[in-house]
Amino acid sequence: MDRDLLRQCVTYHGESLFNKLKCEQTENPDFQALVSDLCKASYESTLVEQFIARKADILFCPSWKTTAVKEEEHDEEEAAEPYAVMPPLELFMEVSYDERRAMLYRDLERGDIVVGRINNIREYGFFLTLLSTAGGLKRDIEDLDLSALCHIREIPSTGSHDDPLSYYQIGDFIRAGVKDIDRYQEKITVSLHQASVSRSLEHIKLGVIAREELPVHYSRSLSAASDSTETYEPILRRCHGYHNPSVVDYLLERVGISDTHPPSLMRGLQSKLFQEDDFASAIRKKQSTSWALKCVRAGVDHFKHGRHVEAMNEYNKALEIDTNNVEALVARGALYANKGSIMKAISDFELALESSPDHRNAKKYLCQTLVERGKQLEEQEKLVTAEGLYRRALSLDDTNPEAQDALHKITDTIQVMASLHSVYFRLEISTTIVKQAF
Partner 1 sequence: MEGPSSRLSEARDGAVQPAGGRDASGEVESDSSRDVKTHFRVCRFIMETGVKLGMRSVPVATACVLYHRFFERVNISSYEPYLVAMSCVYLAGKVEEQHIRTRDIINVSHRYFNSGSAPLECDKEFWDLRDSVVQCELLILRQLNFHVSFEHPHKYLLHYLLSVKSLVNRHAWSRTPVAETSWALLRDCYHGAMCIRHAPQHIAIATLYLALNSYGVELPVGEKEWWQVLCEDVTRADIDAVISDLLQLYDMEAKCI
Q: How many residues bind partner 1 (CB under 8 A)?
A: 80
Q: Which is nearer to partner 1, 271 or 431 (CB)?
A: 271
**Contacting partner 1 within 318-337 (CB under 8 A):** none
* 59 scored as a contact of partner 1 (CB under 8 A): yes
Stretch that binds partner 1, among 9-17, 166-174, 194-202, 331-339 (CB under 8 A): 9-17
Task: State how far the Cα of 113 lies from the Cα of 87, in Å rounded to an integer.
Answer: 17
* 139 scored as a contact of partner 1 (CB under 8 A): yes
Q: Which is nearer to partner 1, 267 or 408 (CB)?
A: 267
* 33 scored as a contact of partner 1 (CB under 8 A): no
* 47 scored as a contact of partner 1 (CB under 8 A): yes
Q: CB of 136 within 8 A of CB of 112?
A: yes
* 19 scored as a contact of partner 1 (CB under 8 A): no
Instruction: Name 190's bridge partners.
Output: 150, 178
126 CB-near residues (< 8 Å, 6+ apart): 118, 120, 149, 150, 165, 168
- Number of C-alpha atoms within 13 angstroms, CB side, residue 35? 14
* 294 scored as a contact of partner 1 (CB under 8 A): yes
* 92 scored as a contact of partner 1 (CB under 8 A): yes
44 CB-near residues (< 8 Å, 6+ apart): 12, 13, 14, 16, 17
Task: State how far the Cα of 97 lies from the Cα of 42, in Å rounded to an integer.
Answer: 27
Contact flags string 242-281 toward partner 1, x per CB under 8 A: x--x-xxx-xx--xxx-xxxxxxxxxxx----x---xxxx
Q: CB of 60 within 8 A of CB of 1?
A: yes
* 225 scored as a contact of partner 1 (CB under 8 A): no
Q: Could you tell me the smallest distance in angstroms from the CB atom of residue 201 to partner 1?
A: 13
* 231 scored as a contact of partner 1 (CB under 8 A): yes
Helix (H/G/I), strand (E/B), else coil: 175: strand
* 223 scored as a contact of partner 1 (CB under 8 A): no
Q: Which is nearer to partner 1, 132 or 400 (CB)?
A: 132
Stretch that binds partner 1, among 28-36, 116-124, 289-297, 366-374 (CB under 8 A): 289-297
Single out the residue of 21, 34, 84, 114 in contact with partner 1 (rule: CB under 8 A).
84
> Exposed, middle or buried, 184 (CB in 10 Å: 0-12/13-18/19+)?
exposed
Stretch that binds partner 1, among 79-87, 310-318, 326-334, 357-365 (CB under 8 A): 79-87
* 51 scored as a contact of partner 1 (CB under 8 A): yes
Neighbours of 144 (CB within 10 A): 18
Q: Could you tell me the smallest distance in angstroms from the CB atom of residue 79 to partner 1?
A: 18
CA angle 35, 37, 40 (to 5 degrees): 85
**Contacting partner 1 within 112-131 (CB under 8 A):** none
Helix (H/G/I), strand (E/B), else coil: 408: helix
Single out the residue of 21, 86, 181, 406 in contact with partner 1 (rule: CB under 8 A).
86
Task: State how far the Cα of 343 lies from the Cα of 337, in Å rounded to an integer.
Answer: 8
